Amino acid sequence: MNNKNEKILYRVKSNRFLFVAKAVWDIIWFSIGTTISIGLGTLLLSGILGFLCNDNKPNLPVIYLGASLIPLTIAVIILHIILLRKNQFYTISTQSITSEGGVLIRFNHTLRRNQIQSVSYTQTLIQQLLGCGNIVVSTAASSRGGIILTNIDHVQEIYKAISYNR
């Protein structure tokens, strides 16, 4: 907020249910991929080391290391998703619209009201059932020319506030 006359209208996050559902889906597929890649790599390395150093028997310390890396890697991605949810905000004020967040790399993308060319919103069937949607705010700029507020609750109310104040 740069201006003393600027008033925050909304400070929102994406819909919690849709965020959790997508996070669970991502974690399941990440877990499958991690288990396959680390598991196969561990078995391959264990077999090679067993062939070279252990009378053609698998090298158990390598297997234990690989088996411990799988849950550790999955725990790190879960922590990343939790921190991502905690740090992602959209701020709609009388003078600007801001998207901010990030975990390891923070970002802040602000559009001033006079830069806004158009505002629209979309709702999938699931978003309609949950009362949320996506708001697309476009500018005339060619690079980073807009902000998409994804899975925002009360999408029509926020859309009207943005349209009214631009």
User: pLDDT tens, 112-163?
Assistant: 888 888 999 999 999 999 999 999 999 887 566 789 999 999 999 999 988 8
Domain ranges of the chain: 8-14+89-165, 16-85
Regarding pTM above 0.85, the answer is no
Question: Considering only 3-17, 19-33, 80-94, 111-125, which range has the smallest mean pLDDT?
Answer: 3-17
Q: Indicate whether 2 pLDDT > 60.
A: no
**Helix orientation angle between 16-53 and 60-87, rounded to the nearest 10 degrees:** 160
Q: What is the pLDDT of residue 76?
A: 93
Q: Are 99 and 147 in contact (CB under 8 A)?
A: yes
pLDDT-based confidence at residue 57 (cuts at 50, 70, 90): confident
Q: Which fold has domain 8-14+89-165?
A: PH-domain like (2.30.29)
